[in-house]
A and B are shown apart, each in its own frame.
Chain A
Amino acid sequence: MTESLEEFLIARRGTGRPLLVPYVTAGVTPGWTDVVHAYAEAGADAVELGFPFSDPMLDGVTIQEASDRAIAAGTTVRGILEEVATLDVDVPLIAMTYSNLVVQRSTAEFCAALTASGLRGLIVPDSPLEEVGELADAAAAEGVDLVLLAAPSSSRARLREITERSRGFVYAVTRMGTTGERGEIPEEATRLGRELKGLTDRPVLFGFGVSSPAQAAELAGHADGVVVASTLMRKLLDGARPRELGEYVASIRRALD
């Protein structure tokens, strides 16, 4: 596969189905790579891999717990990349982590390591437009699509710049808050989705608080698809096996289709 994350997602979108990107924290369990396979087989269009960080500022309790567990188990960026390099999945993999892990040596070295392991996308939630310049250049040079976040509080001018500079897709944050399961879809989410769709042809995916197949389906109607994270990690932390997580992703897939 040599096409970029964005090319892949645009092609998938072209089949008429909403895009589905499930998440797993790398290293959260010894068999976490089985979860990646299960997601891919259940109809995921890409898989987001969380590289655990000790101070995940934008994550709620579930991802925090998953990150703490992974770090306690000795998970490192190098270890994750070695495991990822051995994976055989037919959808793109996207890394999600915080700035401190990205800048350890240099952003160029980090992006090169992602590419070498076969990762095609990167999300860094604490690297907004103001700070993203060097990282965006490094990612572009290494062929990694750097996905930028758009928030309900973003001004129209910022949304325009985000849609122009984001690669892969535009990550539309559904609410002002952290990641985590929520009951309702806020109105601001649908407004943000509409606005972003008006500004760009790049895929727009909703994330944060997508907590059920029905919610996923409803949100996907306002953009191109969804990222599903905390609800899957909650099940995993409560003991769900890769096969069960795959079945749940398949149920979201059915709801979306």
Chain B
Amino acid sequence: MGEMSWSGRQGVTVRAAARAMSDPGATGRFGTYGGRYVPESLIPACHEIEAAFREAWSDPEFRGRLDTLLTVYAGRPTPLTPAWRLSRELGITLFLKREDLAHTGSHKINNVIGQALLAQRMGKERMLAETGAGQHGVATATAAALLGLKATVFMGERDIERQELNVLRMNVLGAEVVPVTTGSRTLKDACNEAMRHWVSSVDDSYYCIGSVMGPHPYPWMVREFQRVIGEEARAQCAAELPVGVPDYVVACVGGGSNAAGTFAGFVDTTARLIGVEAEGGAAATFGRAGVLHGFRSLVLQDEHGQVTEAHSVAAGLDYPGIGPEHAQLRDGGRARYETVNDEEVVQALLCLARTEGILAALESSHAVAWVIRAAKSGEIAPGSTVMLTLSGRGDKDIASIKELL
């Protein structure tokens, strides 16, 4: 895409985006996406959670409690680290928003502490969660332990094999990990199973969804709990950069929670928003409109409407849909979605490790891979400033990386 055409659109899209990433209202619609496509049995629970969240989110006491926990427990604010050597190598100025330094090793904790406080406020005893790479499961197990709640985590059998370390972490933290043996035995099937379990335990259980997906109010609520990434990064960029706003804001996208939280802080600026998907799970690029897991969005599916399996080296990105708000941002042109392949991702992981001494998660390495490619190809002009959200750390991926080397 040429520099001029992008800039030419910018004026229009920024104005349109003033309304973007706000409250989707009672219907939970982001344009034509989102909604609440769940069985009647779950509708009262969705209404109850929406009402509780609206009330809590406007309650200074709740906000204060959340802020305190994010600070003294989760380690916020996370630093914005200049990637000194890699920046020199690429001829750009690259900053990394260090969500890998948050407690439990990823941005997932931001959302989970918020939802755990909400669950507690609603008088629920148990949190249910789905997990892909295990980061959301670990975060849920952690927040449950912190607040004295029980945690049951649904995880695809295939992911359990790939992410053994995180399964052990969840067990140590006292959570029950339920292997999901249906379908592709990955994140999509863990979501189905968590939903099914939720229907039968809705009175005492709270379903803690890990990304900007699911029925209303989840896509909105999870984005709001993750907004802290973007708001901190915006303030940090303002302090670091002469012009205050980076040229590019980049984040990886599976369901899209770290990207949504990041974009929320920059959607009303001139920064170009780039979401990076795994080539084998790129719903924004290869998906068609459809309905999955309670919401309408772009979904990877065959010509007959059967949802297809996503494949990537990163378990956390093996999701055949994207959050409904990302679909809206894509259609409106405010955000752009790119894909990288497994090979580029592994090389990016090694590159960041060896130039900056940071071992990023395979998921986060997708964002790094795109920046490397785009800077080398000139798509990112020399001298540009780039703010990249490094969503998590890569310790969990060591076994996978060993096999790939």
Give the top 10 A-B pairs by smallest Cβ distance, nearest first: A177-B200, A99-B291, A151-B41, A54-B306, A151-B40, A76-B304, A54-B307, A100-B291, A104-B305, A149-B40
Q: How far is the CA of A175 from the CA of B199 in the complex (A)?
A: 9
Q: Are A150 and B40 in contact (CB under 8 A)?
A: yes
Among the stretches B116-124, B262-270, B292-300, the one at the interface with A is B292-300
B140 CB to closest chain A CB, in angstroms? Answer: 20
Q: Which residues of B have CB within 8 Å of A71? A: 306
Q: How far is the CA of A57 from the CA of B42 in the complex (A)?
A: 11
Contact A158/B43 with A76-B304, A130-B35 known, Cβ cut-off 8 Å: yes
Among the stretches A38-46, A121-129, A196-204, A243-251, the one at the interface with B is A121-129
Q: Which residues of A have CB within 8 Å of B308? A: 54
19 residue pairs of the A-B complex, CB under 8 angstroms, read: A55-B188, A57-B38, A58-B39, A61-B182, A76-B304, A100-B290, A100-B301, A128-B43, A130-B36, A149-B39, A153-B41, A154-B40, A154-B44, A158-B40, A158-B43, A173-B39, A173-B40, A177-B41, A178-B199
| A169 within 8 Å of B (CB atoms) | no
Please classify how large the interface on chain B is, using the bins under 10, 10 to 19, 20 to 34, 35 or more. Answer: 35 or more
| B195 within 8 Å of A (CB atoms) | yes
Q: Are A176 and B202 in contact (CB under 8 A)?
A: yes
Q: Are B40 and A60 in contact (CB under 8 A)?
A: no
Q: Which of A59-105 contact B (CB under 8 A)?
A: 59-61, 64, 68, 71, 76-78, 98-101, 103-104
A interface residue numbers (CB < 8 A to B): 53-61, 64, 68, 71, 76-78, 98-101, 103-104, 125-131, 148-155, 158, 162, 173, 175-178
Q: Can you add 18 more A-B contacts, CB < 8 Å, to A59-B196, A104-B304?
A: A55-B188, A55-B293, A57-B39, A57-B195, A98-B291, A100-B290, A103-B291, A125-B40, A126-B294, A131-B35, A149-B41, A151-B43, A154-B40, A175-B200, A176-B41, A176-B200, A177-B196, A178-B200
Q: Which residues of B have CB within 8 Å of A176? A: 41, 199-200, 202-203
Q: Are A151 and B291 in contact (CB under 8 A)?
A: no
Interface secondary structure of B, over-half rule: mixed
Q: Which residues of B have CB within 8 Å of A76? A: 304
Q: Are B44 and A155 in contact (CB under 8 A)?
A: yes
Q: Which residues of A have CB within 8 Å of B301? A: 100
B interface residue numbers (CB < 8 A to A): 27, 35-45, 182-183, 188-189, 192, 195-196, 199-200, 202-203, 289-294, 296, 299, 301, 304-308
Query: When the two chains form the complex, which single residue of A59, A127, A131, A152 contacts B41, counting CB atoms closer than 8 Å?
Result: A152
Q: Which residues of B have CB within 8 Å of A64? A: 182
Q: How far is the CA of A129 from the CA of B41 in the complex (A)?
A: 12
- Nearest-neighbor residue (CB-CB) of A154 within chain B: B40
- Nearest-neighbor residue (CB-CB) of B288 within chain A: A104
Q: Are B306 and A99 in contact (CB under 8 A)?
A: no
Q: Are A68 and B183 in contact (CB under 8 A)?
A: yes
B138 CB to closest chain A CB, in angstroms? Answer: 25
Q: Are B44 and A55 in contact (CB under 8 A)?
A: no
B261 CB to closest chain A CB, in angstroms? Answer: 26
Q: Are B45 and A55 in contact (CB under 8 A)?
A: no
Q: Which residues of B have CB within 8 Å of A98? A: 291
- Nearest-neighbor residue (CB-CB) of B195 within chain A: A57
Q: Are B39 and A55 in contact (CB under 8 A)?
A: no
Q: Are B40 and A100 in contact (CB under 8 A)?
A: no
Q: Which residues of A have CB within 8 Å of B292? A: 55, 100
The listed residue with most B CB atoms (<10 A of its CB), out of A61, A64, A175, is: A64
B171 CB to closest chain A CB, in angstroms? Answer: 25
Q: Are A126 and B305 in contact (CB under 8 A)?
A: no
Q: Which residues of B have CB within 8 Å of A128? A: 36-40, 43
Q: How far is the CA of A54 from the CA of B182 in the complex (A)?
A: 10
Q: Which residues of B have CB within 8 Å of A126? A: 37-39, 291, 294
Q: Which residues of A have CB within 8 Å of B289? A: 103
Q: How far is the CA of A118 from the CA of B225 in the complex (A)?
A: 49
Q: Are A153 and B188 in contact (CB under 8 A)?
A: no
Q: Which residues of A have CB within 8 Å of B189? A: 55
A174 CB to closest chain B CB, in angstroms? Answer: 11
Contact A173/B41 with A54-B183, A100-B290, A100-B291 known, Cβ cut-off 8 Å: yes
Q: How far is the CA of A100 from the CA of B299 in the complex (A)?
A: 10
Q: Are A58 and B196 in contact (CB under 8 A)?
A: yes
The listed residue with most B CB atoms (<10 A of its CB), out of A58, A76, A152, is: A58
Q: How far is the CA of A9 from the CA of B248 in the complex (A)?
A: 62
Q: Are B39 and A125 in contact (CB under 8 A)?
A: yes
Q: Are B202 and A131 in contact (CB under 8 A)?
A: no
Q: Which residues of A have CB within 8 Å of B43? A: 128-130, 151, 153-154, 158
Query: When the two chains form the complex, which single residue of B199, B290, B306 contacts A103, counting CB atoms closer than 8 Å?
Result: B290
